[in-house]
A and B are shown apart, each in its own frame.
Chain A
Amino acid sequence: MGQIHLEKVRKTFGDVVIIPDLDLQIEDGEFVVFVGPSGCGKSTLLRLIAGLEDVTGGKIVIDGKDATTLPPAKRGLAMVFQSYALYPHMSVRKNIAFPLKMAGMDKAEIDRRVDYAAKTLNLDNYIDRRPGQLSGGQRQRVAIGRAIVREPKAFLFDEPLSNLDAALRVGMRLEISELHQRLKTTMVYVTHDQVEAMTMADKIVVLRAGNIEQVGSPLELYTAPRNTFVAGFIGSPKMNLLGGAEAAKYQAATMGVRPEHIRLSTTDGAWKGTVKVSEHLGSDTFLHVESPVHDEPLTVRAGGEFPVHAGDVVYLTPQEDKIHRFDDKGLAIKGNGRATG
C-alpha cells in the first residue's frame, strides 16, 4: 500500500505563501515526479509529505489514514536526501541498519535485511567502509539502501541525483527505475531536471510558485501541454513560442512548435532565417536560427548531420499537425487539426 492524498494542503512562512491550497492524488505503486524551476515549492511539498515541515492548512492522508499531524517516523515513509545525509561515523552496514535498530528489530532479522539490501544495491564489497571512503554513486546507493530496508509505504526522493556527474546520473536514473519496477512501491521524486522527470515518471506534476500547472504522464505533457509554462518547461530543447502575426495566422495569442517538429531546408519553406549557432552532436544537429518572424532565435532539430554553419540561410517549415496554440492567458486552445490537451 502507498496511497498519498493531499487535500487543500497549504504552507506559508509568515506572510509568504509557499504553497496555496493544493490537491493531489498519488496512487499506490505510482512513480510520481514533482518538477519545476528552483523555488517552485516542490521540495517543500515533499517535506510536507515527509512530515519534516508542518502544514499550515489542509490534510495529508496516507493509505486512508489522516497523517497530517503524525511525526515523520510514524508515517511509514522513507526519504533519500539530496546530500544523502549518511551518518559519517557509522559504517555502511550500520547506516543501513540504523532505521531497523531504531525500530527495535532483533539482530538476526536486521542482518538478514541489511545483507539483502547490500546485495541488491551492489554494496557487499563496501559494507564495512565509512561514507567518507565511498564515491558519490556508492553513497547514493547507501542512502537508497537505508530507505529500502524499512520496507516503507512510499519512497521520497529529494533531488537525489543532482550531486552526481552526468554519466553517473544516467546510470543511477536507470537503477532507480529498475528498483521501482522490482519493488512496485510508490515513489515520489523531486527534481528540477525535466529529462529525469520524462524518463522516470509514471506521472509528472509540474509546479510553479506552489501551484500545480499540470498533472499527467510524460507523453501527455509533451503532446498536450495545458499552458505556455508547461510547454516551455517540458521537452529539450525548449519549445519555440511565437507571438504576433505568426500566432494570429492560427487564431492564437501564442503559437508553439517544438524544435523537432520543424522541417529544415536550404531551398524553400515558410520562414526564412539565418543560422546563428549550429551544434553538431552527430546523432542530431541543433540550429539556432534568427528569423524575422520572431525576435529571439528559433531552435530547430534535424536528425543526423545537417551540413550548415553559422551565417548560412535556411528555411523552416513548422509541421501543421504539431502546432500548439495558446490564448492571451497562456492557456492551450483545443483543436485545429491536432490532438488536444
Chain B
Amino acid sequence: MRGDRSGNAMATTHTKSLARAMMAPAVIVLLIWMIVPLAMTLYFSTLNYTLYNPFSTPFVGFENYSYFLTDPTFLAALANTLVLVLGVLAITVGGGILIALLLDQDFYGVNIVRLLVIAPFFVMPTVAALVWKNMMMNPVYGVIGQLLQAVGLAPIDWMTEVPLLSIVIIVAWQWLPFATLILLTALQSLSMDQKEAAEMDGAKALSIFWYITLPHMSRAITVVILIQTIFLLSIYAEILVTTQGGPGSQSTNITYLVAQQATSYGDIGAASAGGIVAVILANIVAIFLVRLIGKNLDA
C-alpha cells in the first residue's frame, strides 16, 4: 500500500503506521503459513528419508533431486502435465466461448439450460471421475461404448487405450462451466451500441465476433486461462480414481508422480525434492503467463 492516496490530509504518516500495525498479524500469519511448509519441504528434500526407516534420516545433499530429475518418468510426467493443461485450456476456452455465445441468446428455457450447464462445477472431482470412468467410458456398459456399438463401431477401452485423453475429457467437463460462466458475464457486458455500430459499418456476424466480441472478451479469457492453469497444474484426484497414472506412466503428471514417491515408494525425501521441482515449474509457468497475457489485465 503506497501512501500517495492522501484523500485525508490529516496525519497521513500516523494513519500509515497504524495501518501497518493493524495489518501485521495477518501478514505474519500468512508468511508463516507459507514459509514453514516450504522450509520443511526444502529440508526434507535434502535427507534420505523413507517411511521404511523413518528414524534414520541422513543428509544426502542434492541426491534426491538428481534421483527425481533423472527418473525417466519425470520427463514423461512433465510432458503429460503440459498436454493435460493445454488440452483442458483449449477445450474449456474454445467450448466456453461457443456455449457462452449460445447462452447469450434469448430462447425458451434459457434459465434452465444455464443452470444445467453450470451443474458439473458442483460435482466433486473424485465423483466426476468415477462417474465418467464407470458410467460413460466403460467399454462394456458405458454410455459412449453403447453408442459406438449402436452405430456399429467397436467400443474403445478409454482408460487403457487413451488414458491421458480420457483424463483431459473428464477435467475439461469439470472446468467448462467455470469458463462458460466467466465468458458469459463478459459477453453480457458488451454494449448493444457497439454491435449495432459494427453492423452499420458493414460487419457480418463473423466479423463482429472477430473484431468486436472476441477483443471485448479478451480480459475474461485471460482470467480463465490464469485461474485454470493454477488448478490444472495440480490435478490429482481424477488420475487417482481412474488410471492411477497408468498404463505405465502414460497418464502420470508431475503432481501424481510426486505423490507416488511418498505413497507408493514411501520416499519422503524424493517426494519433497519433487515438490520443490513442481513449485519451480509452476513459478516458471506463472511468470511466463503473466508476461505473455497478464498485460491484458491492465488498462
Chain A contacts to B: CB under 8 angstroms = 50, 52, 71-73, 77-79, 81-83, 85-90, 98-99, 102-103, 132, 146, 150
Contacts and interface: CB of A to CB of B under 8 A. Distances in A.
B104 interface: no
B212 A83 contact: no
18 contacts: A71-B199, A73-B199, A73-B200, A79-B196, A79-B197, A85-B191, A85-B193, A87-B211, A87-B212, A89-B215, A89-B216, A98-B198, A98-B201, A98-B211, A99-B200, A102-B201, A102-B203, A150-B201
B263 to A, nearest CB: 49
B202 A99 contact: yes
Contacts of A103: 202
Nearest to A73: B202
| Consensus secondary structure, chain A interface | loop
Contacts of B199: 52, 71-73
B129 to A, nearest CB: 39
Interface in B177-221: 191, 193-194, 196-204, 207, 211-212, 215-216, 218
Nearest to A52: B196
Nearest to A94: B211
B299 interface: yes
Contacts of B201: 73, 98-99, 102, 146, 150
A189 B202 CA distance: 21
Nearest to B201: A99
A79 B203 CA distance: 14
Given A83-B193, A85-B193, A87-B211, A52 B216 contact: no
A123 B201 CA distance: 20
Contact of A85 (B197, B211, B218): B197
A50 B197 CA distance: 10
Contact of B200 (A72, A83, A89): A72
Contacts of A79: 196-197, 200
A319 to B, nearest CB: 47
In which size bucket is the chain B interface? 10 to 19
Contacts of B204: 102
Given A87-B194, A132-B299, A78 B211 contact: no
Nearest to A130: B299
A146 B197 CA distance: 10
Given A99-B201, A102-B203, A102-B207, A89 B218 contact: yes
A78 to B, nearest CB: 7
**6 tightest Cβ-Cβ pairs between the two chains A and B:** A85-B193, A99-B201, A73-B202, A85-B197, A102-B202, A89-B215
Interface in B202-251: 202-204, 207, 211-212, 215-216, 218
A50 B202 contact: no
A78 B211 CA distance: 19
Nearest to B193: A85
A82 B194 CA distance: 11
Given A79-B197, A79-B200, 12 more contacts: A52-B199, A72-B196, A73-B199, A73-B201, A73-B202, A83-B191, A85-B193, A90-B215, A98-B203, A102-B202, A102-B203, A103-B202
Q: Quick one: which of B198, B200, B299 has the most chain A CB within 10 A?
A: B200
B247 to A, nearest CB: 47
A52 B198 contact: no
Nearest to B203: A102
Contacts of A150: 201
Contacts of B299: 132
